[in-house]
Structure 1
Amino acid sequence: MLSKDHLKEISKSIIEYGRPLEKSLFKKYFYDGSEQEIINELKKFQNVDGGFGHGLESDFRLPYSSPMATLVGIRHLSKLDKSEEAKEMIKEAIRYLESCFDKNRNGWFAVPKEVNNFSHAPWWHYNEEYEMSIIDENWGNPSAEILAYLYKYREYLKKLDVDSLIEYAIDYMENKEEFYSENEIFCYIKLYGVLPNKLQKRLKNKIQAAIEQLIEYEDEKWIEYVPTPVDFVSSPDMCKFEIKESKIIDNLDFIIKQLESNGRINPPWGESFYMEDLKPAYNEWIGVLTLNALTILDKYSKVEK
């Protein structure tokens, strides 16, 4: 259990390193803050075309809209969708996603080529020869999670046939044997969470097989950038996909010890990528990762309030 005193110390890291968005999220989820404040902060990242940009995904500073940043925006808004204002923002974001859907890919590319004109981490670089970033080597990131929100908010769709796209996404997984991207599986877990039981059944075994290939169970490696048990099962009410319960508990204890020792979570991929105009992104990630760790602990009732 993370004590009240430690939570108070960790809150100083959120205040020091977090963006106003993370601060508003922290206040909402730990101190009964305002949902309206979160919505107001998210508005700063939404463009007139409905998409999100302006560095919402910290590792690329593209001001224009991108499917990846829009995905992050909707992810936050989906937790606030009792608000009419949040619903309208989601509706506008879906308008953007329909406009940039790529028929040849039957999905979305993470970022447009304009990303190269602004500071960005190397994994977001748009390769002119292949006409995509390295992220796009795995179809499901971000397309599978985008489909989760299109399915959930299908009443806002004007053009796309979400049912046929869901069928494509499931077929893609059913025919895949080797898995290289945990981020793709995180997106599929989001999709799994909104689907009816008959469609979940078709995905479950493949998600389990992917997790078995990708998950890191050795706790001494959890300090590195590796997919850990709670990355796949971030709350106790989720499907566990046969991940060992004892390892989930060990992982939670590991996070608590990290927070108690350091008062924050530092990006495990290091600081070397963050130079010049991209330098602020490193501190932003401290805010994002620290808040994410606290949120996971709270869902498992591991934070004393």
Structure 2
Amino acid sequence: MKTEGKKVLERSKDFIYRNARLLDRMRFAYHFENGTKADVLRALQAYQNEDGGFGNALEPDMRCPHSQPVTTESALLIIQEVSGFDHVMLEGILSYLQGISLPGGGLPRATTAVNDYPHAPWWTTEQDHMPSLNPTGSIVGILRKQQERTEFQAEHWFQEHIGFVWRCLEESATGPGDYHDAMQWISFLESASGEPERTAHYKRVLDKWLTGPNGIEMNIHAEGYVHKILDYARTPDSYASRLLQPDDVERHLDGLVNSQQEDGSWNITFPAVSPAGEQEWRGSFTVDHLITLKAYGRLD
């Protein structure tokens, strides 16, 4: 292992085992210490509720214990990370998603239950029955890409979600509204099959947006709540990677290494809802960034 990569990993390991929640300690062990998928899923399962959805501050800026769509999306992303779709948790997730599906398709971004608990201001929710591309597009994409369970994909409730996402894309003639919408587009379009011309059209729209002024932030020194190259191309096989120049990717990898804090963590770029929430985010982000550095060979 190169000296620089070894130091990055050692500092992060110390931070994670000192400060990160159990889930992120298990994720770190899985990726860097021959930990097991079962250990990650066991830690994740603690956030799952009786209705099959996920809550309990798995999304650190939403301290609501009740199940939420976006928190369930977070769980699916971790299940995808460790190829854990064979786990019994998926049965509960499908039941929960079917139960909160809105007429005509679409899942709510959040429900008004979040308002009763500490939460970031952007999670304040006025009604329970407003369908949203975020997180519907990502959830549909994740569930279509996995192959452990496929029978539900032909069911009416799931097909309505697919139709809803297509309508959202049709109504956005110039592309996504922001980074979060872009990730919904990417997840959904990467999983699309059976309609190649339609899919190709919206990929062209997406690509134009990603390479435009509102898309990928190329400035390595940009500050605040911005989303740079490695947010979109977390690994070399990410959708956006083909739109990037290798030299630009290397510059941002250098920047990521250099922005590691003395304690081994990486800071967040937005205000957290609480000190505990910030610490949880820093643990999660630290594992995420290490996965990226590993994928690009920077920890070899």
How would you bin the TM-score normalised by the shorter chain? 0.7 to 0.9
Per the alignment, residue 187 of structure 1 pairs with 184
Partner Cα distance (1:122, 1:192) in 2: 30
Determine if contact 1:116/1:126 at 8 Å carries over to the other structure: yes
Task: Report runs of 4+ in structure 1 exceeding 3 Å deviation.
Answer: 79-84, 156-165
- Opposite residue 179 of structure 2, the aligned amino acid is E
Q: How much has 1:159 moved relative to structure 2?
A: 4.5
- Note the alpha carbon deviations across 1:7-42, whole angstroms, 9 max, x for none: 111111112231100000000001111211111101
List gaps (5 residues or longer) in structure 2: none
**Is the aligned partner of 1:63 residue 2:61?**
no
- The size of the alignment, in residue pairs, is 289
Partner Cα distance (1:160, 1:249) in 2: 45
- Opposite residue 188 of structure 1, the aligned amino acid is W
Per the alignment, residue 170 of structure 1 pairs with 166
Determine if contact 1:47/1:65 at 8 Å carries over to the other structure: yes
Q: TM-score, normalised by structure 1?
A: 0.86
The aligned runs of 1:114-133 (5 Å cut-off) are: 114-127=113-126, 131=127
Determine if contact 2:153/2:159 at 8 Å carries over to the other structure: no
The aligned runs of 1:220-299 (5 Å cut-off) are: 220-221=221-222, 223-239=223-239, 240=241, 242-259=243-260, 263-270=264-271, 273-274=272-273, 278-299=274-295
Per the alignment, residue 148 of structure 1 pairs with 141
Match of 1:39 among 38, 41, 45: 41
- Opposite residue 103 of structure 1, the aligned amino acid is P
Partner Cα distance (2:284, 2:68) in 1: 20
Determine if contact 1:28/1:35 at 8 Å carries over to the other structure: yes
Q: How much has 1:250 moved relative to structure 2?
A: 1.4
Partner Cα distance (1:262, 1:103) in 2: 49
CA 1:168/1:126 → structure 2, altered by over 3 Å: closer, same or farther? closer
Q: How much has 1:178 moved relative to structure 2?
A: 5.6
Match of 2:32 among 22, 30, 33: 30
> Partner of 1:234: helix, strand, or coil?
coil
Partner Cα distance (1:19, 1:82) in 2: 20
List gaps (5 residues or longer) in structure 1: none
The aligned runs of 1:186-205 (5 Å cut-off) are: 186-196=183-193, 198=196, 200-205=199-204
Q: TM-score, normalised by structure 2?
A: 0.87
> Partner of 2:243: helix, strand, or coil?
coil
Q: How much has 1:224 moved relative to structure 2?
A: 2.6
> Partner of 1:26: helix, strand, or coil?
helix
CA 1:154/1:202 → structure 2, altered by over 3 Å: closer, same or farther? farther
Q: CA RMSD in A?
A: 2.5
Match of 2:5 among 3, 21, 30: 3
Q: How much has 1:141 moved relative to structure 2?
A: 1.2
> Partner of 2:57: helix, strand, or coil?
coil
